[in-house]
Amino acid sequence: MLTRETFTGPWAGLPVAWTEDDRFDEATYREDVARCCRAGIPGVYTGGTTGEFYAMELDEFHEVARSTIEVGREQDTPAMIGCTSTSTRGSRRRAELAAELGADAIQVALPFWMEIGESEIVPFFRDVSAAAAGMPLSIYETTRAKRVLTLAQHRAVNDAVPNYLMVKANAGTVGATAEGCRELSQFVNVFVGESRWVDLGPCGARGCCSSMVYWNPSVTLAFWEIVEQGDWDAVRKTDERVQPLFEFLHAEFSPRGFTDTAFDRLGGIACGFLKTSLRSRAPYPSATQDDVERFQTWCREHFPEMLNQIG
């Protein structure tokens, strides 16, 4: 059972491999999950934005979740399953399936198509947690849900759902601020992006739902190790390499409408670690082989360590 002491570090938020005819490529996906586990990544995770939960039918969710959990169990690595849906019923059904399959944790965002009322926040998380038989719960906080939680609401959820152990705090949410991260970290683990470790690590951030960790596990795990050690001078030096990479990606690919999964597939393939497809599910754009070469060229010139998987 995960605890606040063990639910830490950069977890691999993996993209799903799709075939040319847009079906789940289970063999390739399972090998990607296993590769992450063998690299010593603390946990594997699917069902978030990179995992394209929003573009997946329930039967596909079941197959992807099953594959993730089975490989994690074989490799002795915990697996977290994202259970976000547009309704309580949808999230409950996914949480039930995750529990039946033996997941180690679930993650869920607020229903996102229409903004939910304040009075429905705690009941929603309580109902989803009950459907998952009380396994460790992570909240996926994102402005895409149209409502962000206050510190008081996080406390209320924690009071009602004691198994609420982690929050994935994205830009625009309370955990992505220095004061909010300090306050939240008193009762729940705060995960933030790798580019925020330099400023929120000293405020108590405990990990990340990471893409960079499967672009290059050795670089990212070494980065996390110095964050854990509190060696902030070393963290700043590493961050000086990481920030320009994210700035390049944003400037180069955001104007083309890249979503999380397009960026993360691109990095995993360009750095030589993942074998997944470049394909994102339509209507969302996909990276191309030319984009892979552009990414590799930039890294060779500015951050060659990121490419050590392919020499």
| Phi, then psi, of 114 in degrees rounded to 5 | -125, 140
pLDDT band at 308 (very low <50, low <70, confident <90, very high): confident
Tell me the C-alpha distance between 309 and 231, whole Å.
Answer: 26
Mean pLDDT, residues 169-178 taken together? 98
Residue 245 CB-half CA count within 13 A: 29
Q: Do you find a cis peptide bond into 136, omega within 30 degrees of 0?
A: no
Tell me the C-alpha distance between 174 and 176, whole Å.
Answer: 5
CB 263 within 8 Å of CB 215? no
Q: Which of these, 215, 217, 165, 168, lies nearest to 196 by C-alpha position?
A: 168
pLDDT mean across residues, the chain = 97
**How many angstroms separate the Cα of 243 from the Cα of each of 140, 196, 236, 247?**
23, 9, 10, 6
Mean pLDDT, residues 196-220 taken together? 98
Domains, the chain: 9-229 (3.20.20.70)
Tell me the C-alpha distance between 177 and 162, whole Å.
Answer: 24
Tell me the C-alpha distance between 17 and 280, whole Å.
Answer: 9
Q: Which of these, 282, 286, 306, lies nearest to 296 by C-alpha position?
A: 306
Does the pLDDT value for residue 9 go beyond 80?
yes
| Token representation of residue 30 | 């399972």
Does the pLDDT value for residue 270 go beyond 60?
yes
**Per-residue pLDDT tens over the stretch 20-41:** 999 999 999 999 999 999 999 9
**Per-residue pLDDT tens over the stretch 64-110:** 999 999 999 999 999 999 999 999 999 999 999 999 999 999 999 99
Residue 160 CB-half CA count within 13 A: 17
The pLDDT score that the predictor gives to residue 64 is 98
Does the pLDDT value for residue 203 go beyond 60?
yes
